[in-house]
Structure 1
């Protein structure tokens, strides 16, 4: 609870201190009168946000919502694009460079594939920040700031929590093979789980029906599994049915939240989640680029800005329930 309160306080302070036109497929919001919808009297900048979000993944809806709110406030045209395949994501970054945007925010789940494209943006004089994935590598490519959580630390805290809960056999479900952030999370779970074992299960996160059948088959095969650790809310929610259909007694926890996940915690179907505040990541990334164009500010300097991790469970879920329902947490 102390960690949750600390991260929440940092998020609120940052949002207030840093003080976002929006985008839906790159089109700015309108005030209904054909004028600017921004809350500042500064030139209209164009910012590209390029992520590895897969279609239908609600986590990225929260990142995008935060980015849109910051863009609205800062009189920015936000051009959001995403692709879960690293080479395609790198191409999207190159397209943003070719379009001569005023700033780029990028995730780097595979830094070796995406980092060189980000470096080209930096070399072209485009302010570039990182978010969500790539915390350990962003400085190698000249990226000025990073907003997110240390995935190894988050995983270790999850493992320690599971250890205290008496977990003996944890199934850590990776839904994007090749994503270093997810590997780090499961590696951290293993390190924190002193009194039990951790096993990785790879699933196709783009197909939740396949996820359910794969998790269900594993649980049916191995009744010793007493915890399922999802790395994203949709996988955890899908695992609820998998556990039930397999006749398993396994409990479920996850990284990341959405409105459905928050309700599942309230209902007792999910035991806890580790929140990295994706809305805040999107908001701060765009707002930092406005500040970079406005007065050359660099948020965080040579240190990342942490937006997590924090635990959400039955003891504090009501504190974020309303915001989650509005798509803000």
Structure 2
């Protein structure tokens, strides 16, 4: 497999390979076959206690990124003999109420995102006070430890933004638009701020209503028409990359479209040159490792990270790696 440019240490990559029961396709297939065989026999893959873990995210309806996170979590729960409860809401107050509901159910472990940490602080505190171990995932790495979580799993959003800025420099871009599709999401702000830190050119933030794709397209189209010197558009989620491509065409712009996160369309766009590059934070791994780390804590009082986030990205993915990833995006794990 070709090397990916990655900011994740080789030592961590080795650790994660072990955690995922082997990095070879053969080993992965054996593990999958074993899990399916156990399920078909009506038996658990393990004989440890049957704990209940809840995951509560800030996902909106139909967000394919979170489908991948959930898929990873469900794979780990099948292996670890976990009863898994998943819920989500893109409104922070509603998400906090879902956390409260999980606490009321006296779950054995909680996985939560902190896209809007101020709104989530009290709910997470109630979980910790109730003796429920908490792992944060994806968003809120800066607040995770202060809120009492065991660890945080995801990418450092500022570092990810910095990686994008440096990649744009390598591509000789000079005028970039960073498209923020969810106002108030601290991770999104950190990505664009990190981009501005390392990018040698100009960065403009464009706020759009991410739940309204026609609005996203028209807003970006207007921006590109108003400033024909824009030569790079960075979207902060895979579903928005395709919309950005449509806006570019409608505006008659020559800007390169780049994006955070992967899905099948993004990989196809990388392969045919419609997209320049993508930033992968490995959402499947975030869900999988969150469950595994809670299980390890319940089973053996193990904690990873040493008080620091467990990083799953960023990886800069270009056309050179697109063919390698197509298999995984088709099956919904990348």
TM-score, with normalisation over the residues of structure 1? Answer: 0.91
* Structure-2 change in CA distance of 1:317 and 1:283 (3 Å): same
Could you tell me which residue of structure 1 aligns to residue 146 of structure 2?
Answer: 140
Contact 1:119–1:143 (CA under 8 A) maintained in structure 2: no
Shift of 1:260: 1.3
Shift of 1:36: 4.8
CA distance in 2, matches of 1:210, 1:37: 49
Determine helix, strand or coil for the equivalent of 1:172: strand
Q: 2:18 aligns with which of 16, 19, 25?
A: 16
Alignment map for 1:120-135 (pairs within 5 Å):
120-135=126-141
CA distance in 1, matches of 2:97, 2:279: 31
Shift of 1:268: 0.5
Shift of 1:16: 2.8
Determine helix, strand or coil for the equivalent of 2:77: helix
CA distance in 1, matches of 2:10, 2:72: 15
Determine helix, strand or coil for the equivalent of 1:299: coil
Greater shift in the superposed pair: 204-213 or 279-288: 204-213
Could you tell me which residue of structure 2 aligns to residue 229 of structure 1?
Answer: 234
CA distance in 2, matches of 1:40, 1:174: 43
- The alignment status of 1:311 with 2:313, answered yes or no, reads no
Shift of 1:204: 1.0
Could you tell me which residue of structure 1 aligns to residue 25 of structure 2?
Answer: none
Q: 1:275 aligns with which of 277, 280, 295?
A: 280
* Structure-2 change in CA distance of 1:255 and 1:137 (3 Å): same
Could you tell me which residue of structure 2 aligns to residue 23 of structure 1?
Answer: none
Determine helix, strand or coil for the equivalent of 1:141: coil
Could you tell me which residue of structure 1 aligns to residue 181 of structure 2?
Answer: 175
Q: 1:74 aligns with which of 80, 85, 110?
A: 80
Shift of 1:211: 1.1
Shift of 1:208: 1.6
Query: How many residues are paired up?
Result: 319
TM-score, with normalisation over the residues of structure 2? Answer: 0.90
* Structure-2 change in CA distance of 1:11 and 1:82 (3 Å): farther
CA distance in 2, matches of 1:12, 1:266: 28
CA distance in 2, matches of 1:148, 1:316: 21
Alignment map for 1:1-329 (pairs within 5 Å):
1=3, 3-4=5-6, 10-11=12-13, 13-17=15-19, 36=42, 38-194=44-200, 196-329=201-334
CA distance in 2, matches of 1:16, 1:307: 14
Greater shift in the superposed pair: 106-115 or 292-301: 292-301
Q: Compute the RMSD of aligned alpha carbons.
A: 2.1
Shift of 1:35: 6.8
Contact 1:4–1:312 (CA under 8 A) maintained in structure 2: no
Contact 2:117–2:140 (CA under 8 A) maintained in structure 1: yes
Could you tell me which residue of structure 2 aligns to residue 26 of structure 1?
Answer: none
Structure 1 spans left out of the alignment, 5+ residues: 20-28
Q: Deviations over 1:99-119 (max 9, x none)?
A: 101100000011111122112
Contact 1:208–1:238 (CA under 8 A) maintained in structure 2: yes
Determine helix, strand or coil for the equivalent of 2:291: helix
Contact 1:7–1:310 (CA under 8 A) maintained in structure 2: no
CA distance in 2, matches of 1:8, 1:64: 26
Determine helix, strand or coil for the equivalent of 1:81: strand
Structure 2 spans left out of the alignment, 5+ residues: 22-34
